[in-house]
Amino acid sequence: MIEQDVIERVLGSALRTGGDFAEVFAEDRRGTAASLEDARVEQMASGRERGAGIRVVSGETTGFAHTADLSEAGLLAAASAAAAAARHGGGGVRKVALAPAGSDRGAVEVLPETVPKDSKVALLRRADEAARSAGAAIRQVSATYADSRRQILVANSDGVLVTDDQVRTRFGVSCVAAGDTGLQTGRESLGATVGFELFDAHDVDDLARRAASRALAKLAARPAPSGTLPVVIKQGSGGILFHEACGHGLEADHIVKELSVFAHRVGEQVASPLVTLVDDGTMGSEWGAFGVDDEGHPAKRNVLIDQGVLTDYMWDYLRARKEGRESSGNGRRETYQHLPMVRMTNTFLLGGAEDPEEIVRQTPHGVFVAQLGGGQVNTATGDFTFGATEAYLIEDGEITEALRDTNLIGNGPEILGLIDAVGNDFAMGSPGTCGKQGQGVPVGTGQPTLRVSALTVGGTSR
C-alpha cells in the first residue's frame, strides 16, 4: 500500500518533535453483505475503504490522527497532527530503519471478491427453502451472507514493518415459528477466516434446518424454572459466557486501571482445577485468527488460567512496553480510524476427561443449555447476565422438556470455582463480534460440555 522509503520518512517526521514511539497503520478493506427476508433479497451491498492511522507517543501522552489520503503528503500531514497532539515543541530528526516481514498464514483458496453475486444470493435462497421445508409453523426466515478482505500494513519506530491479509466469510439464518405459545425463534450461524471455500465444508441447507428446528422445538417449551440450580452447558455454545464473564477482566487495560476483579492475582487459584482458559490468535481458520495483530506483532497462544491458577493477562504493545515485557499479540482495532486496545482473539476452555453424556446422567435435576445468546458483564465486580436461547430441563439424569428463553445470572470468578465437570468433547462455537469502547472486532469462543454446580436461572416456574 505504501512504499518503504515513504514510511520511513513519515515515521521520522512523526518523531521530529521528540516523540518516544511512532506507528503507521494502513488498511485496505473491502467486503460484501447480502440479506434475504421472507424470500426476497433485501440488501446486496459492496464497499471498499482505504486509509491510515498514525500514532505518536510521548511519555504518557498519545497523539493519533487518521487520513484516507495515502500519498506521502497526506501521511506527513497526519503524522504532524499526531505529533502535535502528543507533544508541542521541536528538535532533531530521528531516522527509522525498517525490517520488512509478512505473516505466515495459509493462502485463501477462493477469494470471495472473485465469486459472482448471483452465487452468494443462491446460498440465501437455498437456506430460505430448507428452513421453510422444516415445518408449516415456520412463518419467517431471514438469511445473511457477508465476506470481507482486510489487508493491513503496520510499521513503527522500533523497526517493525509487517503486512497481513485477512479474509473472512460468514453466513447466518434466523427463523420464527408460530404456535399456541406465540412466536419462537431459532438461530444458527457459521463463519471462518477463510474464503468462499467455507461452503465446500459446510452446507447452508443443514444450517437452515437446524435454525428452524430450534424454533419449532420451542413451540412446546414450558417456562424455565427459577432459582439456583446445576447447569450443564453444551460444547461450543457457552464459550461466550467465559469470554464475557472473565475474559474481559483479564485484559491488561482493565488490570492497570484497577477495574478488574483479577487485578494483582497472578499465581493465585482463581478457578476450579478443571479450568484451563486460553486465548489463541493462531487458531487455524477460527473467526478470531490472524497472522499479526493491529500493532504488527505475531498472533500468539496465551494460557491465561492453567488448572485454575491465573498465569497471565492479555497485553497490547504499549502496556507491555511499560512493564518491560513482550506484547501477547492482543493489540486490535476496528479500522484505521481507531486506536488499538487490548482485545481477545479466540478464547476458550480446554477439554477435560469426562464423557459429556455421563455429566448429564450425574445431574439429578438441573438445566441443560444448548445455546447462549447475548449478555453483559461488569468487569469490576464480575457480575453477569446471559440469555439462554435454547435450554432443556434435566430430570433424573436425562434431558427432557424444552424450556422457554431464560436468563443465567451469576458472578464470573464464583462460576469459575463452581465448574465441577468438564467433558472431552471440545468444540468452538459460532463466530462473534466483540464490542468494547465503541469498537467491534471478530472473535471466537469455545468450550467442552461442562457443568456449573450452582447457577441462578431467571425463569418464571418453580
Mean of pLDDT values over 149-168: 97
**pLDDT in the model for residue 328:** 98
DSSP E strands in 180-330: the ranges are 182-192, 226-233, 277-280, 301-306, 309-310
Cα separation, 367 vs 418, in Å, equals: 15
Name the least confident of 11-25, 27-41, 87-101, 401-415.
87-101
- pLDDT band with cut points at 50, 70 and 90 for residue 459: low
**pLDDT in the model for residue 237:** 86
* Residue 240, SS3 per DSSP: helix
Mean of pLDDT values over 79-90: 78
Nearest Cα to 202, choosing from 126, 275, 301, 118?
126
* Residue 33, SS3 per DSSP: strand
Report CA Rg, the chain. 24
Residue range 228-274, pLDDT digits in tens: 999 999 999 888 888 988 999 999 999 999 999 999 999 999 999 99
Cα separation, 365 vs 350, in Å, equals: 26
Q: What is the CATH class of 4-220?
A: alpha beta
In percent, how much of the chain has pLDDT > 90? 85
Q: Which amino acid, 286?
A: E
In percent, how much of the chain has pLDDT > 70? 95
- pLDDT over 50 (residue 90): no
Q: With contact defined as beta carbons under 8 Å apart, do 111 and 195 qualify?
A: yes
**pLDDT in the model for residue 376:** 80
Cα separation, 150 vs 346, in Å, equals: 18
- pLDDT band with cut points at 50, 70 and 90 for residue 359: very high
Q: Name residue 280's beta-bridge partners.
A: 301
**pLDDT in the model for residue 30:** 97
Look at the block and give the residue holding cell 469426562.
354
- pLDDT band with cut points at 50, 70 and 90 for residue 92: very low
CA 453, 240, 343, 101 torsion-angle sign: positive
- pLDDT band with cut points at 50, 70 and 90 for residue 119: very high
Cα separation, 80 vs 10, in Å, equals: 9
Mean pLDDT, the chain, integer: 93
Q: What sections of 289-411 are H helices per DSSP? A: 317-322, 356-361
Cα separation, 42 vs 35, in Å, equals: 6
Nearest Cα to 199, choosing from 134, 128, 129, 127?
127
**pLDDT in the model for residue 184:** 93
**pLDDT in the model for residue 99:** 64
Residue range 296-350, pLDDT digits in tens: 999 999 999 999 999 999 999 989 998 999 999 999 999 999 999 999 999 999 9
- pLDDT band with cut points at 50, 70 and 90 for residue 163: very high
**pLDDT in the model for residue 78:** 93
Q: Which helix (H) or strand (E) holds 198?
A: helix 198-201
Domain boundaries, the chain: 4-220, 226-458
DSSP letter at 221 equals P
- pLDDT band with cut points at 50, 70 and 90 for residue 60: confident
**pLDDT in the model for residue 394:** 98
Cα separation, 245 vs 447, in Å, equals: 14
Mean of pLDDT values over 214-225: 93
**pLDDT in the model for residue 94:** 43
Name the least confident of 51-60, 84-93, 366-375.
84-93
Residue range 172-191, pLDDT digits in tens: 999 999 998 789 999 999 99
**pLDDT in the model for residue 171:** 98
Residue-wise DSSP of 13-41: HHTTT--SEEEEEEEEEEEEEEEEETTEE
Cα separation, 192 vs 432, in Å, equals: 10
